[in-house]
Amino acid sequence: MPPEITRQNWLYAPYHRYGFQHVSEFVRTAVVSRGSGPVRELLQQPRDLQGILVSGKSDRDTDASHISFSQALKLTHTDGICVLHGGLIVHEQYFHDMRPETLHLLMSCTKSYIGVLVGIVAHEGLIDLNTEIEHYLPQLAGTGFAGGTVQQHLDMSVGVAFNENYSDATAAINHLDYAVGWRPAPEDYVGPKSLVGFLKGMKDSAYTHGSYFDYRSPITDVLGLLLETVSGKSLAELLSEHLWRPLGCEWDSCFTVDDEGQALADGGLCASLRDLARFGQLMLDNGEASDRQIVPRSWVASCRYGDEASFDAWRASAFVDRAPNGNYRNQWWCRERTTGVLLASGIHGQALYIDPSAHLVVAKFSSQPQPRDTEIFNLQFALFETLAAYFKA
């Protein structure tokens, strides 16, 4: 580890470029085993994408309307990109010391894995999506989660209050980092020192359950706790059993865990780029891989198209201005509900883009300087849509 990179700064630019690729040097982790089965090979059929022009500014000081594919990768601070078309790798590229076997932090792309796990476990009969969360997790009675159904947690329409403003030094998201060990707590910190302790302390509500969509990471942590409780297994074990092994993933992965061994379901998964792409291909193929139905087809369809309750919560939210016909369903983003395009997204530019009509999957790791940057996000999404248009042509 370079001496200038520490547990205090590994999450922040410019040190995060190293930190995202070496998470286990800074945080406790649990292994997600791929097992000893065969790797599901991703065959390669390279395509020259360098002539593609992406709609967007080449930098913040010019009015250029289009930029090259390589410029788009540079300006979105790409660490690695893998493009699958028809299940074949048509483009794979690594930057900043990344290699195919490197595990990179997924940040909130992790949430979409959790959503899929809930779908699988619910299909097995261990979870009723319409049941209130405290039925399974009585320790959350009296919190802002209580009274919300499992489905409302999946759709982030449960009414619990939480400040996830990364530019606000006083925001609760910082205390979550302290609780789970992502950052050393300051000397005057007197808050919880575990993820479960943090969740039990979230007492306030912001609105009525089901009435409003708002993005709050601890809601996914509740789903992670739910999965572990009903199954009696850790999230690392569940991911290995239900996804990594049946998918034929190429490398073991890992999950960050707190001092009690509780995985950070909202953003703590680390994976290789190709294994992220394999997960995307699974969703593109309606939950099927190697002639086996891994994820229920109905769950994949629900993620793509949602239902009226999730649409209503979206329409009531501030996000409707950005995507009037969008949705958030089962821990997946959908910018235009009629297309079935899915997006898993994490801060600093982590992304998994899935477009069924283009037979396209794009897995991308990045180390963008700011957690959230609207202009860079729009450029990155324009890159994905440009690739989709190219492969549809």
Q: What one-character-per-residue DSSP string does 343-355 give?
A: EEEEGGGEEEEEE
Which residues contact residue 200 at a Cβ distance below 8 angstroms, ignoring those fewer than 6 apart?
139, 140, 143, 192
296 C-beta neighbours (distance < 10 Å), count? 17
Q: What pLDDT, on the 0 to 100 scale, is given for residue 64?
A: 60
Q: What are 332's strand-pairing partners?
A: 329
Q: What pLDDT, on the 0 to 100 scale, is given for residue 94?
A: 98
pLDDT along the chain (393 residues), means of 10: 91 97 98 97 96 74 75 97 98 97 98 98 98 98 98 98 91 95 92 97 97 98 98 98 98 97 98 98 97 97 95 96 95 94 98 98 98 96 97 93
Cα 85 to Cα 35, 249, 382: the distances in Å are 27, 18, 18
Q: What are 292's strand-pairing partners?
A: 289
Burial of residue 378 (CB within 10 Å: 0-12, 13-18, 19+) is middle
Are 294 and 243 a contacting pair, CB within 8 Å?
yes
Cα 161 to Cα 2, 40, 135, 143, 321: the distances in Å are 39, 42, 21, 10, 22
- What's the rounded Cα separation, in Å, for the pair 73 and 70? 5
Which of these is catalytic: 58, 108, 231, 367? 108
- Give the up-direction half-sphere exposure of residue 211: CA atoms within 13 A in the CB hemisphere: 7
- What's the rounded Cα separation, in Å, for the pair 223 and 219? 7
Are 256 and 23 a contacting pair, CB within 8 Å?
yes
Is 290 among the residues known to form the active site?
Answer: no
Are 313 and 210 a contacting pair, CB within 8 Å?
yes
- What's the rounded Cα separation, in Å, for the pair 26 and 99? 20
Phi, psi of 230 (to 5 degrees): -75, -25
Are 371 and 347 a contacting pair, CB within 8 Å?
yes
Are 376 and 349 a contacting pair, CB within 8 Å?
yes
Which residues contact residue 322 at a Cβ distance below 8 angstroms, ignoring those fewer than 6 apart?
none
Residue 44: DSSP 8-state: B
Which residues contact residue 116 at a Cβ distance below 8 angstroms, ignoring those fewer than 6 apart?
243, 283, 295, 299, 303, 330, 331
SS3 state at 384:
helix
Residue 257: DSSP 8-state: B
SS3 state at 80:
strand
Phi, psi of 351 (to 5 degrees): -160, 145
What would the two tokens of residue 310 be? 């999730």
Instruction: Give the domain 27-138+151-159+207-392 fold.
Output: Beta-lactamase (3.40.710)
Length of the chain in residues, anyone? 393
30 C-beta neighbours (distance < 10 Å), count? 20
SS3 state at 31:
strand
Domain range summary for the chain, segments of one domain joined by +: 27-138+151-159+207-392
